[in-house]
Structure 1
Amino acid sequence: MMDPKHRDLLKKLRLELCLQALADGLVPHYLLQEGLITCDQLEEINSQVTSQRRTMKLLDILPTRGPKAFEIFLDSLTEFPWVRENLVQLCKESHRMPVGKTLELPDSVQESCPSDKLLNILAGKLGSEWEQVLGYLGLDHVELYRCKMQHPYSLHGQAMEGLVKWKQHMGRKATMQCLWKALQDAEVDPSIMQYILQ
């Protein structure tokens, strides 16, 4: 898995990176050459109808390609030196949670039901990880597929649809504790879990 710090950085810059049309140049071909993506994944990227969607698909794939994915991605940005410099600088400025520090959900909120507002914010932060989280929450492949079909071009919409379905299906059993455990099991970035505690 990609370093959570790098994964979080790509999420935060997602829209900005999509505007750069990164997937229309040599970037994906370099990633293929280095073995970071497969031919099928390259075809999947190229099949998207706009440059923004091609870059979005590339950004969906990158975090799943191992611990060296971010470094190789930086090396691929020869046509976009300003993007590379920005990523490197932001990487230096970011601070990871101290090693050994674990987050715990307060007892006072464990049995409470997460609000729609919180779920909406969470949906916006999960990105492509929403499927894994919802899988841990109990949604099956059919339900996940329906979420995708109802919001084909919006990861936020897909995630929110899934979270709402979970809350409706589980009723009072849709607790903060269940949500917290799913986020932990999916190894979601600690910064997202930290946000829930605020």
Structure 2
Amino acid sequence: MEGEINRSVHPIFTRDPEDFMQYLNKQVSVLKEDGKEVTGWVYTIDPVSESFVLLSFTDDKTQLDIVMGPSVRQVSVLDENSETYKKRIEAMFRPPEVEALSEEELEKRKNVLKSWLLKNRLPVQVAGNNGELLSISDALFIEPPYGVENCRSTNEIILGRIQGLIKNMPSDQEEWC
């Protein structure tokens, strides 16, 4: 009918993100609408476009495939051992300075910074899937290796103030400058 409004709702509002989370770090086979099949380890899935980012490993190379959401017809899990390539996948997308630090050093940096932020009466909490982020009221996140350049926020005022606070952290508080 003419003048009728299309009231269809985008799938992001009806599909549970947990549906996608079940595939993370698992080896899957994605059947596309053209009949082709793409196999790889799931790095991430965009919940809006429903596109899959897959990594495949051979002895001498790593291949990245992006399967666009509209072309996905079926997803089958081939290997559920999410730990098989998890560290290798995560290492590919970490900044080099994070790779140079041990897990103990990163944990120490996180705790020193958290202590400094708490001392300044900020509501800081540990966040992220693996507890790797520091979060201040869900308005700002600090990623490893927990420096000024690792702060993420859409609020420029909060971002500037927290970065200034980190820059002014006393050297006896921040042994890893």
Query: Is TM-score (shorter-chain normalized) higher than 0.5?
Result: no
User: Which structure has the larger Rg over C-alpha atoms?
Assistant: 2
Which one scores higher on RCO, CA 8 angstroms, separation ≥ 6? 1
Please report the TM-score for the alignment, with normalisation by the length of structure 1.
0.26
Please report the TM-score for the alignment, with normalisation by the length of structure 2.
0.28
Structure having the higher helix fraction is 1
